[in-house]
Amino acid sequence: MIATAPPRVAPITVRGVGKVYPARRGSFVALHDVSFSVAPGEFCAIIGPSGCGKTTLLHILAGLFPASTGTVEIPPQEPGRLVTALIFQGISTLPWLTVLQNTEYGLRHMRVSPAERRTRAVEQLRRVGLDRFVDAFPHQLSEGMRQRVSIARALATDPDVLLMDEPFANLDEQNRLLLQDELLRLWQENRQTVLFVTHSLDEAIRLSDRVLVMTSAPGRIKAEVPVRLARPREFRSVRQDPEYGALSAKLWEALRDEVLRARQT
C-alpha cells in the first residue's frame, strides 16, 4: 500500500485565456476564452481533437509565451527549484547528454551544486527504475525508457505542478500501462498538481480525478467530467467497473463532434 501524501498547495487558475498566432493570411485563433481551475494535488486530464490548442495551453501555463488575452495563475518558479515542470510532447531527451546529465538538466539551470545535482538525479532515476543506466545515451534506450528519463528530469527539481503533454503517446500498450502505474505511484507519494494532456479516453479515465474536454479550434473547455473511481486503480478493476463504461461513453459523446469538426478544417 502506498502512503498518500498530503496535496501540495499549488492550485492552477485559468481565466478567459485566448491565444492568437500570426498566420500567413492574418491570424489564427488557437484558444478562445478558456477557463478552468485545478485544485492543489488534483490530477486533471485534458482531451481534445488534434490541433485544438492543448500544447499551446500547456506552454502558456509553463510560461514559454504569454496568452493573448486572459490570465493564468500558477505557482511562480523559485530559486533552486522548478516549481512547475513541463514534460514536452514527443521525445524530449537531449541526445548528446547521458541519462544522468539529462536528468540533472533542470537542476543545472537552477544552479544546484554538482554533488547535490548528482544525488538528486540518481535518486529520481532509481524511482523510475533507470539507475543502472546513468551513463547510457538516449539512443541506447527504448522509447519507454527515454520517456522515464523525461519524467525523472521533471521530478528531480521537486515540482509542485506537473504539466504533461501526451507523455505516453508513442508507447506500446504494455509499456503505457506500466508507466501509468509508475506515474500514479509517484503522484500518490508526492501529490503534485497534475495537468495531463492525452488523446486516450482510457488513459484519462484511469489516471485522473477530472477530465476536461476541449472543442476543436479555437479550443475552449466544452465539458468537465469528474472521475470518481476508487484508487488505487488497477488496470483490470478499472475496466470492470460499471462506472468505467459510463464515463467512457460520456467523454466520447462530448468529443466525437469535435473530432469530426476538426477533420473538416
User: What are the residues facing 29 on neighbouring strands?
Assistant: 20
75 belongs to the binding site for ligand ADP (CB under 6 A)? no
Counting residues that bind ligand ADP (by CB under 6 A) gives 12
30 belongs to the binding site for ligand ADP (CB under 6 A)? yes
CA–CA distance, 247 with 251 (Å, rounded to integer): 6
21 belongs to the binding site for ligand ADP (CB under 6 A)? yes
Segment 55-74, which members bind ligand ADP (CB under 6 A)?
Answer: 55-56
Q: Which stretch binds ligand ADP (CB under 6 A): 7-15, 49-57, 168-176, 241-249?
A: 49-57
User: What are the residues facing 92 on neighbouring strands?
Assistant: none
Nearer to ligand ADP, 207 or 217 (CB): 217
Contact of 186 with 4, CB cutoff 8 Å = no
Nearer to Mg ion, 53 or 70 (CB): 53
CA–CA distance, 142 with 138 (Å, rounded to integer): 8
Nearer to ligand ADP, 53 or 167 (CB): 53
Alpha helices in the chain (DSSP H): 54-61, 99-109, 114-127, 143-156, 173-190, 201-207, 235-240, 242-264
195 belongs to the binding site for ligand ADP (CB under 6 A)? no
Residue 31 DSSP code: E
Nearer to Mg ion, 89 or 200 (CB): 89
Interface contacts to Mg ion, rule CB under 5 A: 54-55, 89
In the shown chain, the binding pattern of residues 198 to 237 toward ligand ADP, with x for contact by CB under 6 A and - for none, equals: -------------------x--------------------
- Three-state secondary-structure class, residue 7: coil
- What does 56 interact with, of ligand ADP, Mg ion, none (CB < 5 to 8 A by kind)? ligand ADP
CA–CA distance, 91 with 96 (Å, rounded to integer): 13
Q: Kindly report the number of other CB atoms within 10 A of residue 263's CB atom.
A: 10
Interface residue list for ligand ADP (CB under 6 A): 21, 28, 30, 48, 50-56, 217
